[in-house]
Amino acid sequence: MNIAIIGLGLMGGSLAMSLKKLEYVKKIVGYDHNEKHTSQAIKLGLVDEIVSFETLKKADVIFLAIPVDGLIATLNNLTDIDKNTTIIDLGSTKQKIVESVPAVIRKNFVAAHPMTGTENFGPLAAVEGLYEDKVVVLCDLEESGKHQADVAKKIFKSLKMRKTYMHAREHDRHAAFISHMPHAVSYAIANTVMRQENKHNILALAAGGYRSMSRLAKSSPYMWEDIFRQNKTNLLESISIFQEELEQLKSAIENDDWQRVHQEMEDANKLHDILD
């Protein structure tokens, strides 16, 4: 099959690297509004060719690996594709995207969210194996055409991803807690230090803990502004619940309730009984 990838940054570029290894993928073409990205993608050999937007519509599969606001706008420019074409989005939010798909191409569309990534962005951030052994969430798959659903499942299986299924609304609430709120916290942690007068002296002490907690603050502001906007309600709920947890810990420390502090830490330790 011939595949087109719109958006040649971390997600799109890494996807291209993995797709090139699949025997049934004949050609991979790319498109990106950022000319620097297109030249880098060609130089790195991520795609076989950079094509126009009209040309990419002829591909068998079109991946949308762009920020969610741009993704919605792009869908409205794909209404004239062939009935057998498969469109797969890789957006980090799902409900507003699904609701925005033009009815004429709803069967063509598969809503997917690969739960993977790094804090880096752009074609130079593309890494081989980014998708392998990761979870991909497929949302509202019953609304996609059978052919398109089968194509998406085949590709993600070939990428060695673990598929899970849920409704878009459910996905967005879960993603707020596990991904979107942690990014917001990381930005806040970084700014807490950056807004101190003696920030350089403070950062001279930065070791593994601070670096781990602030790593997500390196993520693209353009992409994450879109995600925060798209999932505003769920994000605000998750931030409020986090604030409540932090206030409980703060209160225990203020009151010298070290038994409570210890218990809070023990409760948090249990997270890795599930994750590990």
Q: Which tens digits make up the pLDDT trace of 167-180?
A: 999 999 999 999 99
d(CA 246, CA 241): 9
Burial class (CB in 10 A: 0-12, 13-18, 19+), 256: exposed
Instruction: Specify the pLDDT at position 59.
Output: 97
Question: pLDDT tens digit string along 228-259?
Answer: 998 999 999 999 999 999 999 999 999 999 99
**Coil, strand or helix: which one is 84?**
coil
- In sequence order, which residues have a C-beta less than 8 Å from that of residue 150 and are 6 or more positions away? none
Q: Compute the average pLDDT of residues 116-123.
A: 78
Q: Compute the average pLDDT of residues 8-32.
A: 93
Instruction: Specify the pLDDT at position 205.
Output: 72
Q: Compute the average pLDDT of residues 49-71.
A: 92
Instruction: Specify the pLDDT at position 272.
Output: 81
Structural domains in the chain plus CATH codes: 2-166 (3.40.50.720), 171-275 (1.10.3660.10)
Q: Compute the average pLDDT of residues 180-189.
A: 94
10 has a pLDDT exceeding 80: yes
Instruction: Specify the pLDDT at position 76.
Output: 94
Question: pLDDT tens digit string along 82-110?
Answer: 999 999 999 889 999 999 999 999 999 99
Percentage of the residues of the chain whose pLDDT score is greater than 70: 99
Q: Compute the average pLDDT of residues 47-68.
A: 93
196 has a pLDDT exceeding 80: yes
* Amino acid letter, residue 96: K
Extended beta strands in 45-187, E state: 49-50, 61-64, 86-89, 109-114, 135-139, 162-166
| CA distances to 87, 90, 120, 212 from 152, in Å | 9, 12, 26, 34
Lowest-pLDDT choice from 119-128, 133-142, 245-254: 119-128
Lowest-pLDDT choice from 4-18, 109-123, 241-255: 109-123
Q: Which two tokens stand for residue 27?
A: 């050609």
Question: pLDDT tens digit string along 204-227?
Answer: 777 678 888 888 888 888 888 989
Instruction: Specify the pLDDT at position 204.
Output: 72
Percentage of the residues of the chain whose pLDDT score is greater than 90: 69
51 has a pLDDT exceeding 90: yes
Instruction: Specify the pLDDT at position 256.
Output: 96
Mean pLDDT of the chain: 91
